[in-house]
Amino acid sequence: MEDQHRQDRAIIRELIENWVVWRDTAHWDEFRKVWHPDGRMTASWKQAGFEEFIAGSHDLMERGGSILHLLGGTAVKVNGTRAISQTKMEIQQRDRLDGVLCDVSCMARHYDFWEKRDGRWGLVLRETIFDKSRIDPVILGEKLCIDEQLYNKFPAEYAALAYLQEKIGFSVRPSMPHGWRGPAVEELYRRGELWLAGELDKPWGPASDSFRNQA
């Protein structure tokens, strides 16, 4: 049993790594293999099925925008054909703010719901938990004027990322899970444990409200 758990955890870790490589290099056919057909993505700028997430990512890249990901440690729990994982990661986005080229970095965590179907592990839902963010002009000495009203619309943990994304045309959720033990994070953890125990048919929750009409 432990050998099977070890093998399952290794497969899931590989899928987590593949997600980052294939998404950030626009290898969409390979990226699709990480997901199950009903898989859904909850990011700051997009809450949708993974095909819509692919389309949005592709459009951003086509116009010269850049969102990249760096991975840290991963913890995986497996129970039969269900699993949850949490991965520390960093989001890096570059774009222009009022003519100033800027970099935003955001420390965050991917919280994933996995299922093994017909012998294949795949991603059913990816949620994002935000920890802290910052914004910097790429060229030293350029001045960036911040709209404080817009910036303060979002929790501090992802305000810099949300600010950039709103300014370039995305609609960002002001209620994404953030911090170590906030209410939205606790709800997500509770949902993860129910999923792992086989007590949920679908893992969607309050942070995935836009999915409800698609279910």
Residue 58: CB partners within 8 Å, gap ≥ 6?
26, 28
pLDDT at 141: 87
Q: Say if pTM beats, i.e. exceeds, 0.75.
A: yes
- Cα distances from 146 to residues 50, 137, 150, in angstroms, run 32, 12, 8
Instruction: For 57-89, write each residue's pLDDT tens digit.
Output: 999 899 888 899 999 999 999 999 999 999 999
CATH topology (fold) of 2-201: Nuclear Transport Factor 2; Chain: A, (3.10.450)
Nearest to 72 by CA among 84, 82, 85: 85
∠ CA 44-26-67 to the nearest 5 degrees?
Answer: 35
pLDDT at 209: 46
Beta carbons within 10 angstroms of residue 72's beta carbon: 10
Place of tokens 């440690």: 73
E strands present in the chain: 35-42, 47-49, 66-79, 82-97, 100-117, 120-137
Strand order in the sheet with 35-42: 47-49, 35-42, 120-137, 100-117, 82-97, 66-79
Q: Is 10 exposed, middle or buried (0-12, 13-18, 19+ CB in 10 A)?
A: exposed
Instruction: For 178-190, write each residue's pLDDT tens digit.
Output: 998 889 999 999 9
pLDDT beneath 50: ranges in the chain: 207-215
- Cα distances from 37 to residues 62, 145, 175, in angstroms, run 25, 43, 27
